[in-house]
């Protein structure tokens, strides 16, 4: 079995505030394996950044353990902690580049305290810039670059000390959709190439879906749900996770629209959501419902998306037929492991 590279055990972070205490993180535990691209998602203020900041001890937890590579880093002295931090790269939403230095100087900056000659440092910085596709701009200054390019420079700089862990704190939040996708795929490529463990803090569901293999959903300081991307997105257990995942989704919009439409028409038809996974997607379901139960499924909305290469289908339908036939049709769906949810 793989040994986790990061173990967070029963982490609590409290901030004194006026005469009160803010419980920013509550009893959060998580195991992160080497090479994971782990999404930490949740609404603003959920405690994502605070939780991840305990990993490089930028935030000391009020209680709990932080184990990195099997070692409890909360027991480390400053010198030991500096060595740990060198192996953790961090990128932020606002890049944090030094505007008065060239791109090359920004990337070589973390190498200044190493026993490297200027030439060796610059060679390494050029190599890193090449890796992120920006070597041709090494003499430019940050202000001469686009947001996506600045984030690439920040990534190159974060990789200067050959870290094992890369923390991305809302690194794509200020970027347009195209640059977001490019940065995310760059992170994925780098993770694969260097067996880099990536922690992706974000409130963007699509970012997580694009590259993460695992995800933890945080709400009000707690990790409400965590697991593989397929389990958390495909089969969320907690109502808050469902709400977070489906908000603003095309499915949620379609359901809202269809409910309103049926209501306006004064229709009493039952609106159902059929959700199915993997091989079930290939079932000729609609035809079967008619042939077996003379029930006509009127498909009002449908989509299939792939999560970790497993197709997940959503159909919003009305089922029309004798009521006991409709009931049998629903039972038949359940038997095929197609979940049936009444929407009105």
Ligand X SMILES: Nc1ncnc2c1ncn2[C@@H]1O[C@H](COP(=O)(O)OP(=O)(O)OP(=O)(O)O)[C@@H](O)[C@H]1O
Q: Which is nearer to ligand X, 22 or 296 (CB)?
A: 22
- Asked if 24 touches ligand X (CB under 6 A), the answer is yes
Residue pair 320/295 in contact (Cβ under 8 Å)? The answer is: yes
**Residues from 47 through 66 that contact ligand X (CB under 6 A):** 47-50
15 binds ligand X (CB under 6 A): yes
Verify binding: residue 147, ligand X, rule CB under 6 A. Answer: no
**Closer to ligand X at the Cβ: 50 or 180?**
50
Q: What phi and psi, each to the nearest 5 degrees, are found at residue 247?
A: -60, 140
Please say whether the beta carbons of 146 and 103 come within 8 A: no
> Whose CA is closest to 313, among 335, 295, 293, 333?
333
Shorter beta-carbon distance to ligand X: residue 21 or 112:
21
- Could you give the strand order of the β-sheet that contains 310-320, starting from the edge strand earlier in sequence? 296-307, 310-320, 271-277, 339-342
Separation between Cα atoms, residue 145 and residue 164, nearest integer Å:
28
Three-state DSSP class for 40? strand
**# residues near ligand X by CB under 6 A:** 13
Sheet harboring 71-72: ordered strands across? Answer: 20-32, 6-17, 63-68, 71-72
- Using DSSP's 3-state secondary structure scheme, residue 15 falls into strand
Query: Which of positions 25-44 make contact with ligand X (CB under 6 A)?
Result: 42, 44
Nearer to ligand X, 18 or 323 (CB): 18
Q: Select 20 or 117, whichever has its Cβ closest to ligand X.
A: 20
Residue 167 lies near ligand X (rule: CB under 6 A): no
In angstroms, what CA-CA distances link 217 with 7, 95, 317?
A: 17, 25, 30
* Contact criterion met (CB below 8 Å) for 171 and 154: yes
Q: Which stretch binds ligand X (CB under 6 A): 45-53, 61-69, 282-290, 336-344?
A: 45-53
Between 66 and 272, whose beta carbon lies closer to ligand X?
66
Q: Which of 245, 259, 264 is nearest to 275 (CA)?
A: 245
- Tell me: does residue 172 bind ligand X (CB under 6 A): no
Cα→Cα distances 78→84, 114, 291, Å: 10, 17, 72
In whole angstroms, the minimum distance from the beta carbon of 218 to ligand X comes to: 6
Give the nearer residue to ligand X in terms of CB position, either 42 or 163: 42
| Least separation in angstroms between CB 333 and ligand X | 38
22 binds ligand X (CB under 6 A): yes
Site residues for ligand X, window 200-239 (CB under 6 A)?
Answer: 203
Q: What is the smallest separation between the CB atom of 42 and ligand X, expressed in angstroms?
A: 5
Name the segment binding ligand X (CB under 6 A); options: 17-25, 223-231, 247-255, 279-287: 17-25
List contacts with ligand X (CB under 6 A): 15, 17, 22, 24, 42, 44-50, 203
């Amino acid at each position: 079995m793989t040994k986790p590279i990061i173990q967070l055990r029963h982490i609590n972070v409290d901030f004194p505030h006026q005469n009160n205490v803010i419980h920013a993180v509550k009893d959060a535990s998580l195991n992160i394996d080497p090479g994971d691209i782990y999404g930490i998602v949740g609404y603003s203020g959920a405690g994502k950044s605070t939780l991840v900041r305990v990993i490089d001890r930028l935030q000391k937890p009020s209680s709990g353990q932080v184990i990195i590579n099997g070692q409890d880093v909360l027991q480390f002295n400053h010198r030991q902690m500096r060595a740990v931090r060198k192996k953790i790269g961090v990128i932020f939403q606002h890049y944090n580049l030094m505007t008065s230095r060239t791109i090359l100087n920004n990337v070589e900056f973390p190498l200044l305290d190493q026993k490297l000659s200027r030439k060796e440092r610059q060679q390494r910085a050029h190599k890193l810039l090449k890796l992120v596709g920006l070597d041709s701009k090494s003499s430019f200054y940050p202000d001469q670059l686009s947001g996506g390019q600045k984030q690439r420079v920040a990534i190159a700089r974060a990789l200067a000390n050959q870290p094992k862990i890369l923390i991305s704190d809302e690194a794509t939040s200020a970027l347009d959709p195209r640059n977001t996708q490019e940065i995310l795929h760059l992170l994925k490529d780098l993770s694969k190439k260097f067996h880099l463990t990536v922690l992706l803090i974000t409130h963007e569901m699509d970012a997580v879906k694009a590259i993460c293999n695992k995800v933890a959903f945080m709400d009000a300081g707690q990790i409400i749900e965590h697991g593989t991307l397929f389990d958390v997105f495909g089969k969320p257990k907690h109502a808050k996770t469902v709400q977070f995942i489906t908000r603003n989704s095309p499915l949620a919009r379609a359901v809202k629209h269809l409910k309103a439409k049926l209501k306006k028409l004064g229709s009493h038809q039952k609106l159902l959501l059929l959700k199915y996974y993997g091989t079930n997607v290939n079932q000729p379901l609609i035809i079967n419902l008619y042939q077996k139960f003379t029930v006509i499924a009127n498909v009002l909305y449908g989509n299939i998306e792939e999560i970790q290469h497993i197709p997940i289908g959503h159909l919003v339908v009305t089922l029309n037929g004798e009521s006991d036939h409709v009931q049998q049709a629903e039972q038949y769906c359940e038997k095929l492991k197609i979940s049936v949810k009444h929407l009105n």
